[in-house]
Amino acid sequence: MASKAKIVVVDDSRTQRSTISLALEQKGYQVIQGSNGLDAISLVHSENPDLLVSDIMMPELKGYQVCRLLKNDPATEDLPVILLTTLDHQEHRFWGKEAGADSYVLKAADSTPLEKEVARLLKEKKRLPEEERRRKSGLPIGRQGAQGRLTDLLDRLLFEATIANRIREVGRFSGNLIRSLEGFFEFFQELIDYQIAILYVRTANQLRLILHPQGSVPAGLLETAKKMLWNEGFLTPTDTEAVEEHILNPECLSKEEPANGTNLAVLFSPFPMLPEEGGLAVFNSNPAHYTEETNHTLKIVARELESILKFNLQAEALEKLKADFTAMMIHDLRSPLTAILSAAALVGDGLVGPVSEEQKKWLVKMEAGTHNLLDLINDFLDLSKIEAGRIELVKEEMDLVPLIQSSLDNYLILAQDKKLSLRSSIAQGLLPIQADPRRLDQVFSNLLSNALKFTPEGGAIEVGASAENGTEVKVWVKDSGVGISAEEIGQIFEKYRQSSSGKTSDQKGTGLGLVICKMIVETHGGKIWVESQEGKGSTFFFTLPS
């Protein structure tokens, strides 16, 4: 009943405080008064009230700061809070809302609006029993206890804000889910001790598992962790779903069998706001590593990670739509262009009648223009597929030497026509690599084509490869051509960018070749860059894991 309800009223103005307290006491409430923010914290923990009425502008702690601290404390998060505002401080209402205040009442001579809000909140917001609130609080009564609690709460807020900021940093990779999650797990493993972490997201007819083992984890233990997700009811795949797995650092998996009697402890937190089902689970063979604090931290992480997942999933869906539209459009464009080429070849060969030299000249121009347009269309299709993640590498263990030699052979005649020296420089004992030969051939073709295009007669082109630190192979394509200015080097791998030499060249490019090279190399786990001086040639380097 209302007569038993206990209310803390806090205002640094004695007149305001007394007026509000008197009005509430006349309604049968028990009222306890405080004069500042620290009083509010102290009285809430010592008196266990049913509701707090607080002014916003107070010394030491403002009303919305008090509210935020109380709402962030498990012992007081269910306490209804009314903030007293004025019409000329709209920003205070904003901060109060962000702090989680349950209601706002304008300061006025008439206390009726406040009395109505107090009655409403006491009816709607039922607090935990006093014994349970005291147990959750666990603090001594008095101002010193309030200051200790305040320190704990500020530590908690700082901790949560740090987690939020670090996780949002990985959002800079937004649009690429796997890259975002690689950045996320680099931070997450600093935060929580685990052997295996599994993030899963269910989208339309697809279940995606992202697995992150750390240390040295037997592969069998990873399978045990996945089965636990099934058996514990966290995850129930359907028969119609395609399951897609990504192991972010497979080098941590060992072929050893798990030790006898190895059991995994699991903590799990769902992503409740995702329209799709999803969650984050961590596993450890030592249950002592998982405490209530660990569980609380995991919930914070899941909450913050959710927004990045939502953005990436939406971006992926848009990229898929774009790739589907592009593929359809390009198919419709490529068919008539192929027909034009075939018709031009028939006419040029004289199969439909005599052709004069002047006509042949124009037919050659028509064929060249059509080929350029087809190249542009094919490059655009490749780019859209890679950006949408629609190209899966067909990796195999391969030797780079035959691929390099084959690429050089393909351009040998063109090099001879321009009187260019075309040679290779390959170190001995080059390690095999895991790569997609067709896609790497595309990289070599783009780089060699550019080198031939921008190297004048009598110049030289070199393709080389060497081992780097035993973990990767470095490849380069070096030319003695016109070079790239320092201002343009930083933009050379951007879409539709061409160097000034490319813009003035007789052989126009699409501005997409280097972008495609970059994406293919990075999809392999490598990196690509260029070193160049204007007038002295360019060297394009890329690395591949061995």
Taking CA atoms, 21 is separated from 43, 76, 244, in Å, by 15, 22, 62
Which residue, 227, 247, 225, is CA-closest to 237? 227
Angle of helix 63-71 versus helix 143-169 axis, rounded to 10: 80
Contact (CB, 8 A) for 58 and 86: no
- DSSP letter at 153? H
- Of the pLDDT bands very low, low, confident and very high (cuts 50, 70, 90), residue 504 is very low
Does the pLDDT at position 223 exceed 80? yes
What are the pLDDT digits (tens) for 3-51?
Answer: 579 999 999 999 999 999 999 999 999 999 999 988 898 898 888 899 9
Contact (CB, 8 A) for 279 and 269: yes
Does the pLDDT at position 82 exceed 90? yes
Q: In this predicted structure, which of 215-229, 393-407, 463-477 has the lowest mean pLDDT?
A: 215-229
- Of the pLDDT bands very low, low, confident and very high (cuts 50, 70, 90), residue 150 is low
Does the pLDDT at position 231 exceed 80? no
What are the pLDDT digits (tens) for 276-325?
Answer: 577 888 888 877 777 777 888 888 888 888 877 877 777 777 777 776 77
pLDDT recorded at residue 473: 93
pLDDT over 70 for what percent of the chain? 82
Contact (CB, 8 A) for 5 and 51: yes
Of these ranges, 107-121, 128-142, 225-239, 358-372, the one predicted with the greatest mean pLDDT is: 107-121
Mean pLDDT computed over every residue of the chain: 81
Does the pLDDT at position 367 exceed 50? yes
> How far is it, in rounded angstroms, from Cα 287 to Cα 193?
11
pLDDT recorded at residue 136: 53
pLDDT recorded at residue 19: 93
Does the pLDDT at position 451 exceed 50? yes
* pTM for the full predicted model: 0.49
